[in-house]
């Protein structure tokens, strides 16, 4: 990945991971290639689809490139796309989501006005099961130093994210050990180190409700967030306040998962998360 290009507009590399989504991938690619910001490359990473994505309609566009890999998961696919990219900025789009035509133009302008920002992300429109959905208060998004707001749940969608390639090199690759909640883990790592720029305009459409969504495959998403927090606690540098906030959230999530396990009669599972919570409390001055 190179940092500078001679043209006045920086090159943006767009990474789209996909596996077996023929009904969505063409529309996703079209929403990228149809951007008012034209200095981009679109890298579709086919993560072991049974049938390769059908993109013949866009074959003449030199900005589109398809990279095929064996099935490794969405984090691995995104990491491969990052490695293949040449842009000063990197943006992401999930294969079932769509961009508004002005998305990249507005984001590039916004992040260039805030040179120290690690991320520019936008608001989103949600479309699920044939109707538009309202976001809840807990999904509210923030500008600046957003680390505390990233702890309860993931508030940044990868489909809305634009990052400097130099920032991604500092943060490191996405965690390929997490089958889900890899976005939650990544944005916490980033928000520990960088402020972010938020655009309140809804510049992406997130489409949900289809059966192949990863969130449908696993029960208890907080289990994966707990493992993400443990990994961050073990590997990332943070201020005392950041550490305390993270441990508070870790204890809260362990309590929720343990109580849920007890209600379902899974005592061993509950005890496992109680042990994690008790250990976490020894790492800080928090009092229950």
Q: What is the pLDDT of residue 3?
A: 44
Please say whether the beta carbons of 147 and 242 come within 8 A. yes
H or E segment at 242?
helix 240-263
**With 70 as the cut, is the pLDDT of residue 216 above it?**
no
- What proportion of the chain, given as a percentage, has pLDDT over 70? 93
pTM, to two decimals: 0.91
In total, the chain counts a number of residues equal to 288
Strand-pair category, 119-128 with 131-133? antiparallel
Which of residues 138 and 198 earns the better pLDDT score? 198
Structure tokens of 249?
Answer: 């959230």
Asked if residue 59 lies in contact with residue 26, where contact means CB atoms within 8 angstroms, the answer is: no
**Is the predicted pLDDT of residue 211 greater than 60, yes or no?**
no
Return the SS3 of 87. Answer: coil
- 286 has pLDDT over 70: no
* Residue entry with tokens 């890298």: 43
Q: Which one is predicted more confidently, 23 or 24?
A: 24
pLDDT computed for residue 55 by the predictor: 87
Domains assigned to the chain: 12-216 (3.90.550.10), 221-281 (no CATH)
At 251-274, the pLDDT tens digits run: 999 999 999 999 999 999 999 999
Instruction: Indicate the range of 6-15, 197-206, 274-283 predicted with least confidence.
Output: 6-15
208 pLDDT above the threshold of 80 = no
Angle between helix 221-235 and 267-281 (nearest 10): 30
Residue 54's pLDDT is: 78
Which one, of 123, 173, 118, lies nearest residue 147 by Cα? 118
**Residues 42-74 pLDDT 10s:** 999 999 988 777 788 898 999 999 999 999 999
Does the pLDDT value for residue 6 go beyond 50? Answer: no
pLDDT reading at 7 higher than 70: no
Residue 11: pLDDT over 80: yes
Q: What backbone phi and psi angles, to 5 degrees, belong to 123?
A: -70, 170
């Amino acid at each position: 990945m190179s940092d500078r290009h001679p043209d006045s507009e920086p090159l943006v590399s767009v990474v789209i991971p996909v596996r077996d989504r023929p009904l969505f991938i063409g529309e996703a690619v079209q929403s990228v290639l149809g951007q008012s910001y034209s200095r981009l490359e679109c890298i579709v990473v086919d993560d072991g689809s049974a049938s390769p994505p059908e993109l013949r309609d866009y074959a003449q566009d030199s900005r589109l490139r398809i990279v095929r890999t064996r099935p490794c998961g969405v984090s691995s696919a995104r990491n491969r796309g990052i490695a293949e990219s040449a842009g000063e900025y990197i943006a992401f789009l999930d294969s079932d989501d769509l961009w508004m035509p002005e998305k990249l133009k507005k984001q590039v302008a916004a992040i260039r006005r805030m040179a120290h920002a690690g991320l520019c992300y936008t608001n989103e429109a949600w479309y699920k099961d044939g109707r538009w959905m309202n976001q809840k208060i807990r999904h509210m998004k923030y500008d600046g130093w957003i680390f505390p707001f990233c702890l309860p749940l993931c508030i940044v969608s990868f489909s809305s994210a634009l990052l400097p390639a130099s920032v991604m090199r500092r943060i490191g690759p996405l965690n390929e050990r997490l089958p889900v909640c890899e976005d939650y883990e990544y944005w916490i790592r980033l928000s520990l180190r960088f402020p972010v720029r938020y655009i309140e305009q809804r510049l992406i459409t997130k489409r949900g409700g289809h059966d192949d969504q990863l969130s449908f495959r696993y029960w208890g998403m907080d289990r994966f967030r707990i493992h993400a927090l443990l990994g961050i606690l073990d590997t990332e540098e943070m201020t005392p306040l950041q550490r305390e906030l993270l441990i508070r959230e870790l204890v809260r999530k362990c309590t929720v998962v343990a109580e849920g396990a007890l209600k379902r009669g899974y005592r061993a599972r509950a005890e496992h998360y109680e042990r994690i919570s008790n250990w976490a409390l020894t790492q800080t001055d928090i009092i229950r």
